[in-house]
Amino acid sequence: MTPLRAVTASLSGLALALSLSACSSSETEQSNEAYCSSSAATQAEVAEMESLLTGGSPTKEDLRAQVDAIQASAKTARADAAGLAESVQADVKAADQAFDEEVAAIPDDATLSEALTAYGAAVKNWQAEVARIRMDVGC
């Protein structure tokens, strides 16, 4: 191969690599935006739960309904994280599973006061993890 052809081939390969990198970067940005948007919606559901926990007089049914809303929203955010790095997906899944486990551990016969405390702890722990994940993703 002549030196000119070698340079041309190298430049063509470099251009191809850069264009593929740009596509990947664009897809990553879209995944970040989708996760950031859906996780923000989940945080709004969590804020609603905090409002129930700190003000007014919620029933255990009110709290359970809000947990259901958080879990549904978190499921959407977890799906939107599918295009992110595997480590981020694992962190999102772990945070959601920990929340689900904490909530599931609250006995049906818990008093309202016990339920308020337990739900509050579950929400606080979940928020700390999601805040870290959102920062890592660039939200």
pLDDT in tens, 1-54: 554 444 444 434 433 343 333 344 666 677 689 999 999 999 999 999 999 999
User: Does residue 116 fall inside a structural domain?
Assistant: yes
Number of structural domains in the chain? 1
- Rounded to two decimals, the pTM is 0.77
8 occurs within a structural domain:
no
The answer to whether position 123 is within a domain reads: yes
Residue 16 in domain: no
109 within domain boundaries: yes
12: in domain = no
Which residue, chain included where needed, has tokens 């499921």?
Answer: 75
Instruction: Give pLDDT, residue 98.
Output: 97
Span 59-97, pLDDT tens digits: 999 999 999 999 999 999 999 999 999 999 999 999 999
Q: Considering the domain boundaries, does residue 17 fall inside one?
A: no
Helix ranges (H only) for the chain are 3-54, 60-80, 86-104, 112-137
The sign of the dihedral angle between the CA atoms of 106, 107, 109, 111 is negative
User: Is the residue at 79 inside a domain?
Assistant: yes
Domain range for 105: 31-137
